[in-house]
Chains A and B, each alone.
Chain A
Amino acid sequence: MTFEEVYQRHFAYVWRTLRYLGVRAADLPDVTQDVFVTVHRQLPEYEPRAKITTWLFRLCMTAAHNHRRLARFRRESLEPTNLEARADAPLNPTARLERDEDLALFNTALDALDPDQRAAFVLFELAGISGPDLAETLEIPLGTVHSRLRLAREAFRRAVLRERARRDTPVLRVRRSR
């Protein structure tokens, strides 16, 4: 498989995986590019014993880790931007608002997971990877996979509940004391 083929077939996979793993939206072009630079460098040594997506996922995990390390002081707004809204012009305002809210909820809940839980959650819940394949991808025992998944799901669900409660709580005006 040539580099161009990998790029053509798996660009979206890499992009989405990086986003799922917590790479800031604004940084996705650069981090995706970094991943494919690594792909280009390592492709000659790549041995297709496992799925190429397994290999790519690992590269994405490394890139996302580096991204977190470098960007730990930055805080990204979880709300989609106006530019995103413009890209979704066919949606009516109500539908777009609902979509944005749902997506913000999703991102907030994912952010509640620690990196290990997040990787397991992404692979299992979003990528549809089976437990054994997940164990191979993350190079951990199957029992650990199940444990991480359970904790990740609990954390995700708690975060959704918490975020919903937060949004439903009216903002209180704090009277400034003299």
Chain B
Amino acid sequence: MTPPKRLLDELDLTDDEFRALAAGLNMQVPPEAKTAVWKALQSKLPPAAAAATATATATKAAATVTAAKMGLAGVVFGTAVSLAVVGGQSLLTAHSPATTPRTRLLTTRAPVKHDVGGSRAESAPATSGSAEPSTKSIARDRTRETAPPESVKQAPQPAVRSPSIASFPLTADSELNASSVLERRRVADARARLLAGDARGTLVAVDALRRDFPRGLLDEERDELNIEALLALGELDTARGLAVQFLARYPASAHAGAAKRALK
């Protein structure tokens, strides 16, 4: 029996289907929810368990009220992964054998250096002790999610803590979470445009990346593409300005080639 392919891997996936799935995959958990539910739980658990925290006074109703105050009347939906129409179709075809260059870009690029200390480090695959697949978090803003709630901080901490949203790996690419898969596809698409001589298209793709992944894992690559596209268009002053910012922000970046060329 042939195992079915995932819908996201289907070549005939429409833009709407892709966007809907991507939005669902990137659904975020409100950062305050963990604390609020934990506090409320204390009043419902036996005293021994509740004693784990000293702040156990909230009720279930209080949780709802707290949540409402925090803006949980609806779940906070996650990362904006809505795609530019022109980019979306290209991404969909990134799986296609006919798009080998882009697929190759997706699979052979060097590991991305994470630039934000601490928060990105938490996105590393969980080590032993995790009961879940060791994947990175899906949510874009994982720094909020992985920060333990105040009340939980008071409880005994597990020896190894995995990212809380690490339970939803995407397809066979187990190293990547859904958000980073999407981001990588978008970056690969932007690079493919540049390689194809479409520098303006690259800038459009870069702008879309900056909009949809404002704290993306691939910020360095994105900014590198931005500079390369500007260089290709002859917009040297703008490229130099961005290059200075790039080198100041990522002094040891593996993607500093374009910035250095711009400043020569």
Of B38, B71, B167, the contact of A86 (CB 8 Å cutoff): B71
Q: Are A40 and B164 in contact (CB under 8 A)?
A: no
Closest residue on chain A to residue B79 by CB atoms: A99
Question: In the bound complex, how far is the Cα of B169 from the Cα of A127, in angstroms?
Answer: 6
Question: In the bound complex, how far is the Cα of B196 from the Cα of A39, in angstroms?
Answer: 54
Is B99 an interface residue, CB under 8 A from the partner? Answer: no
Of A80, A99, A142, the contact of B82 (CB 8 Å cutoff): A99
CB distance from B256 to the nearest CB of A (A): 26
Question: In the bound complex, how far is the Cα of B44 from the Cα of A4, in angstroms?
Answer: 14
Q: Are A8 and B161 in contact (CB under 8 A)?
A: yes
Is A58 an interface residue, CB under 8 A from the partner? Answer: no
CB distance from B37 to the nearest CB of A (A): 5
- Contacting residues of chain A (87-131) with chain B, CB-CB under 8 angstroms: 87-88, 90-92, 94-96, 98-103, 105-107, 109-110, 124-128, 130-131
Known: A2-B158, A25-B72, A103-B23. A12 touches B14 (CB 8 A): no
Q: Are A20 and B77 in contact (CB under 8 A)?
A: no
Interface string of A1-22 (1 = CB under 8 A from B): 1111101111111011001100
Of A102, A110, A160, the contact of B81 (CB 8 Å cutoff): A102
Known: A3-B49, A4-B158, A83-B71. A102 touches B132 (CB 8 A): no
Question: In the bound complex, how far is the Cα of B59 from the Cα of A33, in angstroms?
Answer: 10
Q: Are B24 and A126 in contact (CB under 8 A)?
A: yes
Q: Are A8 and B71 in contact (CB under 8 A)?
A: no
Question: In the bound complex, how far is the Cα of B19 from the Cα of A92, in angstroms?
Answer: 18
Interface string of B1-32 (1 = CB under 8 A from A): 10110111000001011011111110101100
Kindly list chain B residues whose C-beta atoms are within 8 Å of the C-beta of A33.
Answer: 37, 40-41, 44, 60, 63
Interface string of A59-96 (1 = CB under 8 A from B): 00000000000000000010011011011101110111
Which of B41, B60, B63, B79: most chain A CB closer than 10 A?
A: B41
Closest residue on chain B to residue A130 by CB atoms: B3
Q: Chain A interface secondary structure, helix, strand, loop or mixed?
A: helix
Question: In the bound complex, how far is the Cα of B34 from the Cα of A28, in angstroms?
Answer: 11
Kindly list chain B residues whose C-beta atoms are within 8 Å of the C-beta of A2.
Answer: 156, 158
Q: Are A40 and B49 in contact (CB under 8 A)?
A: yes
Closest residue on chain A to residue B208 by CB atoms: A95
Q: Are B165 and A16 in contact (CB under 8 A)?
A: yes
Q: List 20 interface pairs A-B (beta carbons < 8 Å), by A numbering.
A: A1-B158, A2-B158, A10-B167, A11-B34, A28-B75, A29-B40, A29-B64, A33-B60, A81-B71, A83-B73, A98-B82, A103-B20, A105-B16, A106-B24, A110-B24, A124-B4, A125-B8, A126-B24, A127-B168, A150-B4
Interface residues of A, Cβ cutoff 8 Å to B: 1-5, 7-13, 15-16, 19-20, 25-26, 28-30, 32-33, 36-37, 40, 48, 51-53, 77, 80-81, 83-84, 86-88, 90-92, 94-96, 98-103, 105-107, 109-110, 124-128, 130-131, 142-143, 146, 149-150, 153, 156-157, 160-161, 164
Given A9-B162, A106-B23, 16 more contacts at CB 8 Å?
Answer: A8-B148, A12-B29, A15-B33, A16-B167, A25-B75, A52-B132, A95-B212, A102-B81, A105-B20, A105-B23, A106-B20, A106-B24, A125-B7, A126-B24, A126-B168, A142-B1
